[in-house]
Amino acid sequence: DIQMTQSPSSLSASVGDRITITCRASQSISAFLNWYQQKPGKAPKVLIYAASNLQTGVPSRFSGSGSGTDFALTISSLQSEDFATYYCQQSFSIPTTFGQGTRLEMK
Amino acid sequence: QVQLVESGGGVVQPGTSLRLSCAASGFTFSSNGFHWVRQAPGKGLEWVALIWYDGSKKNYTESVKGRFTISRDNSKNTLYLQMNSLRVEDTAVYYCVRDQGYCSGGNCYEWFDPWGQGTLVTVSP
């Protein structure tokens, strides 16, 4: 199985900050990488698919980059509603696997 | 609107069975593959099972093979997960998710959207 490792596991930031979360795959997955946001008590929702494509309706402050084994999710200017947990997911091969999550907290 | 609604969760004892259902609406159910994804309390996301749009292929995570069965009824727009021989470690919120995708340059990319609200399965002695 492909292992997905996110860093950091948790992050404290303030409204207006620019933050980046990284995700590393244990083998090359081309651009088969998705990012999800999950708020407490809610189901995850997709933000970015195929490494860099913004899902319809997701604010443009979110962006994704990378290919191969190294990927990043960037939020250009944090808003209060962005404090949540973020997961990367590889869809290169079955079983699909997720990173362990990055908890973004308000400083 | 596009919606997935799970049901069937509950509290059960180890070794027993439970069947989850996921009712879909707002789109053509028979056009998409579906997955079950679970999340143990306070933990991350774990993929459980996949079924193709026509039910012809199924895949499972290793820990549930031989115990769980994913199925679908395209005439009822419903996805199922039959869970047998339940273990304490199966305790989780179970999400039904639709497989979305597009093909470009010879590659077909897939992601999960939407997710249902989840149904909690608690396996406890």
Q: What is the pLDDT of residues B7-25, one digit of tens each?
A: 999 999 999 999 999 999 9
Separation of alpha carbons A78 and A44, rounded Å: 19
What residues in chain A have their Cβ under 8 A from chain B's Cβ atoms?
30-32, 34, 36, 43-46, 49-50, 55, 87, 89, 91, 94-101
Q: What is the pLDDT of residues B90-113, one digit of tens each?
A: 999 999 999 999 888 889 999 999
Question: Across-strand partners of A45?
Answer: A37
A63 by Cβ neighbours in 10 Å (0-12 / 13-18 / 19+) ranks as middle
Across the range A80-97, mean pLDDT stands at 97
pLDDT tens digits, A22-64: 999 999 999 999 999 999 999 999 999 999 999 999 999 999 9
Burial tier of B93 (Cβ tally within 10 Å: 0-12, 13-18, 19+): buried
**Environment class of B9 (CB within 10 Å of its CB; exposed 0-12, middle 13-18, buried 19+):** middle
CB B65 within 8 A of CB B74: no
Q: Mean pLDDT, to the nearest integer, of B64-81?
A: 98
Place of tokens 């273990």: B87
B102 touches B77 (CB < 8 A): no
Of B44, B102, B114, the CB nearest to A98: B44
Give the pLDDT band of residue B69 (cuts 50, 70, 90): very high
Joined tokens for residue B12? 């059960």
Distance (Å) from the C-alpha of residue A59 to the closest C-alpha of chain B? 17
Mean pLDDT of chain A: 98
- pLDDT tens column, B32-41: 999 999 999 9
Q: What are the tokens at A40? A: 């407490």
Residues in a beta bridge with A11? A104
Residue B106: predicted pLDDT: 87
